[in-house]
Amino acid sequence: MGIRNADFNVIYSVGLSMVGMVAISTVATVVVAYFSSIVSSRYARDLREVVFKRILGFSNHELNRFSRASLITRSTNDINQIQNVMGMLFRTLLFAPIIALGGIIKVLEIGSDLSWIIVLAFVSVSVLLVFVIRNVLPAFRRTQIIVDYINRVSREILLGVPVIKAFVRQDYENQRFDRFNVEYRDVNLRVYRILFLMIPAMTLIMNLMIVLILYFGLFDVLDGRLLTGDVIAFVQYSTQIVTSFIMIGSLTIMLPRVLISARRVEEVLSTEGSIIGGVHASCEGDAILEFRNVSYRYPNALRDTLHDVTFSLCPGRVTAIIGGTGSGKSTILSLIPRLQDVTSGVILLDGRNIRDYDLNYLRSKTAIVPQDAVLFSGTVADNLRRGKSDASDDELLGALKVADACDFVGSLDMDVSQGGANFSGGQKQRLSIARAVVGGHDFYLFDDCFSALDVATESLVKSNLVDVTSNASVLMVSQRVSSIMDADEIIVLDDGRIVDKGTHDELLGRCSIYGEIFSSQMGSMGGRDA
């Protein structure tokens, strides 16, 4: 109207209104993008926290079911997929339907009989989306599985670099990694070739729609049923409608992938830990722990690892367990803080089943030094305070002295690299012992933690531990007779069964298995007097 009548007031008025609407649209787009980013990132943060807390509550049974590599992928890559799609979801759901609804209303206002062209374009886009989804969904599922494999293989290779180099197996490991890496590339190429073809196909559909509108709209203009401006407006509104469909379709393409990721995360969240704590958070007795006819079988194992194990731990006494490899020594230690639960029998703490105690309380009474010393990145003080979070510097230094670790620890602020890679095996074991000593506990569990120490250092550390553990129960697992021969009671395990128990001298006189172990280790040093 303004152009036809040369009415500049109308032109300026409508033009300024259009500029104003563009400004409002720009501000709205920025606000939506800002808040959708905040909501999606905070949701991902909270989801990671919930997943991580659930994983920390898993027993070894659940950890073996998922595999550690898969849990890492689910906590990172899968949640990132959910976060990315959630950001798109807010922007698309708030923007596309409004544009589509507005376009449909304006098309109806024009009152043209060209609406069938829009319906045809919509059907064509829908058929294209169905085709794409059916082809990419299996590929998306496969990519998540391959990522798990890549994480697992990468973790194994990085941890085993010294062994790989020692046996000159670099080429073999490269091929093993490359097999999964190439498959991941091929699957992604197949997926994204389909996805990238979708954009030109949708653009083609939109352009064909415009051609059809202009072609059939020309006859309406010639017949006087439509003005030329109406046809141009119809093209504009139709483009907006189809563009909205394409935006929603693009989001729909991502939904299969995020649904797979969401299902993988949901599997973690819906898995209840098999070990649940009780309600009791105190015991008023003398902290006597008793194994009564305890048996244990690992999940999917064909037979029991432990059979009818019965013994007790009393304050002020040192109990040791010795036996061959695979006899179940470490398994017994893991049952006390309930890292695993007994299959049959019962473990009693002051006459009450340990399943009745709160898990945090039960584990706070127990200090365990694992066979493979585990250190965390940070400082020496950070690692030691994992034994007692509010320990003073004097307590930490005292623990280092007990573990004879002051000679290689320059200060409490000394850096510890990931896994304690900047320390030797013996140094890591001594730091692990110092961590257990901090805070004081009722039960000290030593799982062959002196294996990397020389005889003199082991003797010194054990001598220092006497004062620290004088009022506590000590359970020591070892394969070396020299480490446990001064224990108050020695339990001899064979194939998961207790074959005998007593002092060193008693067992030498009557237990053939103990005698064989002693002879094999100490015979060359002078027999029994060694």
pLDDT, tens only, 64-107: 778 777 888 888 888 998 998 888 887 777 778 888 888 888 88
Whether 365 contacts 442, CB under 8 Å: yes
Tokens standing for 281? Answer: 């958070």
Q: Is the dihedral of CA 414, 415, 417, 421 positive or negative?
A: negative
What's the pLDDT at 524?
46
CA dihedral 270, 276, 278, 281 (to 10 degrees): -100
438-to-140, 334, 389, 433, 462 alpha-carbon distances in Å: 49, 20, 9, 9, 16
Was domain 289-529 assigned CATH 3.40.50.300? Answer: yes
What's the pLDDT at 132?
82
pTM beyond 0.85, yes or no: no
47-to-40, 80, 265, 343 alpha-carbon distances in Å: 10, 10, 9, 33
Gap between the Cα atoms of 392 and 404, Å rounded: 19
Strands 306-313 and 318-323: unpaired
DSSP H/E element including 493: strand 489-494
CB contact set of 104 (below 8 Å; sequence gap of 6+): 237, 241
Q: Which CATH architecture has domain 8-269?
A: Up-down Bundle (1.20)
CB-count burial class (<10 Å; 0-12, 13-18, 19+) for 440: middle
Q: Domain-by-domain residue ranges, the chain?
A: 8-269, 289-529
What's the pLDDT at 97?
83
Measured from the Cβ of residue 331, the count of other Cβ atoms closer than 10 Å reads 20
Residue stretches of the chain with pLDDT short of 70:
285, 523-530
What's the pLDDT at 230?
82
What's the pLDDT at 292?
93
307-to-80, 239, 422 alpha-carbon distances in Å: 46, 75, 41
